[in-house]
Amino acid sequence: MMSVVSLVYASSPRGSGFIVYASPEAFLAMTCEHVVRGCRELQIFFPGETKAYKARVLRHDPTIDLALISFLPDGDCLQRRVPLRFADLNAPLNCGAVRMIGYHQVPQGRLLSPGVFDGNLTVQEADQTDDPEMKLRSIQFLNCNYASEPGTSGGPILKGNRVVGVNSDSFGGHKFSISVIGVCNTLRRWLNMENSGVGIDDMLAMLARE
């Protein structure tokens, strides 16, 4: 959970995020677009700590509700923070048990440590094509039933130790979240690489150099 962060703007908690890339030059954290909407800069807090890191919004996409933020690390970051890894894009997003991690809102201040929310997921098919491979690639969202709270938007959804999605929004008692395939497709759009076979880790490294 040390890679799951709290995002704060103007002393007000905005939501959650998680580290997806780390180097001596830059750290990247992923969250939801609605969490950082209207923010040019914000603060990042790691679990159990009061030290704030000044961050900027690097990319955002309201159509899928995904955003990427960048901040400069220090020695402590480099030694203790390990980016979360995404699930294999070639593996089917099977239904099953998942765990979402995020900082839910409290009446005053902010939580120092994130909560853990257990549940199950089902896959949402965005494209009704009959081609099985195209169906798999078109899956942009996950439907989850964990009992999360306001403030957890942007938190990672884990299956085992791999990220399968990003906690996004609620409707009718269900959580609609961005799948790892939705993340990959968004990164490719940001880099104008829609038809590329470049993986998530390599695309994050490209964005970190901007």
- Our measurement of the distance from residue 23's CA atom to the centroid of its chain's CA atoms, rounded to an integer in Å, reads 18
The better pLDDT of the pair 107, 16 is held by: 16
pLDDT of residue 191: 94
Q: Which fold has domain 4-83+199-208?
A: Thrombin, subunit H (2.40.10)
| Residue 187 DSSP SS3 | helix
Tokens of 140: 């942009």
* Interval 181-208 mean pLDDT: 90
Tokens of 170: 């609620």
pLDDT digits (tens, 9 = 90+) for 158-194: 988 899 999 987 554 556 788 898 999 999 999 998 7
**Every domain of the chain and the residues it spans:** 4-83+199-208, 85-188
> pTM for the complete prediction?
0.86
Matching CATH topology for 4-83+199-208 and 85-188?
yes
CATH of domain 85-188: 2.40.10.10
Q: Phi, psi (5° rounding) for residue 60?
A: -155, 150
The band of 127, judged by pLDDT with boundaries at 50, 70 and 90, is very low
Tokens of 10: 């103007």
Of 70, 208, 83, residue with least CA distance to 156: 83
The band of 14, judged by pLDDT with boundaries at 50, 70 and 90, is confident
| Radius of gyration, alpha carbons of the chain | 16
> CA 67, CA 180: separation in Å to the nearest integer?
14
Q: Phi, psi (5° rounding) for residue 200?
A: -60, -45
> CA 131, CA 118: separation in Å to the nearest integer?
32
The residue type found at 77 is C
> CA 159, CA 142: separation in Å to the nearest integer?
12
> CA 22, CA 53: separation in Å to the nearest integer?
14
pLDDT of residue 72: 86
